[in-house]
Amino acid sequence: MANTLGSRISEYRRKKGITQDQLAEYFGVSSQAVSKWENDLSCPDITLIPQLADYFNVTIDELLRGESPKEA
């Protein structure tokens, strides 16, 4: 599993088969914002974290820490 929040967002996005532009449009942010998240230049707003986890069908812990419930 990827070890930074940005690399996990990128991995989950690719698994879902969507582009940065599509993810940005869904969450109402710019594609540059998504690019910055994925390159660990910035982090999503705290209010987006639960929404991102739901969107990617992972827990918040999986999104933030890269841990599945079985590993915790």
Give long-range contacts, CB 8 A cutoff, 24+ apart: 38-46.
Answer: 38/6, 38/7, 38/9, 38/10, 38/13, 39/6, 40/4, 40/5, 40/6, 40/7, 41/6, 43/5, 44/9
> How many alpha carbons lie under 13 Å from residue 28 in its C-beta half-sphere?
4
Query: Does some domain include residue 52?
Result: yes
Q: What is the CATH number of the domain that holds 46?
A: 1.10.260.40
Most distant pair of Cα atoms in the chain: their distance: 34
pTM over 0.95: no
Is 51 domain-assigned?
yes
14 falls within a domain: yes
Domain that holds residue 50: 5-65
Asked if the structure places residue 71 within a domain, the reply is no
Q: How many domains does one find in the chain?
A: 1
What average pLDDT does this structure show over 17-22? 98
Residue 23 lies in a domain: yes
pLDDT at 72 over 50: no
Residue 71, pLDDT above cutoff 90? no
- Structural tokens at position 3: 């070890």
Model pLDDT, residue 2: 65
What tens digit of pLDDT does each residue of 38-70 get? Answer: 999 999 999 999 999 999 999 999 999 987 766
The string of pLDDT tens digits covering residues 1-15 is 569 999 999 999 999
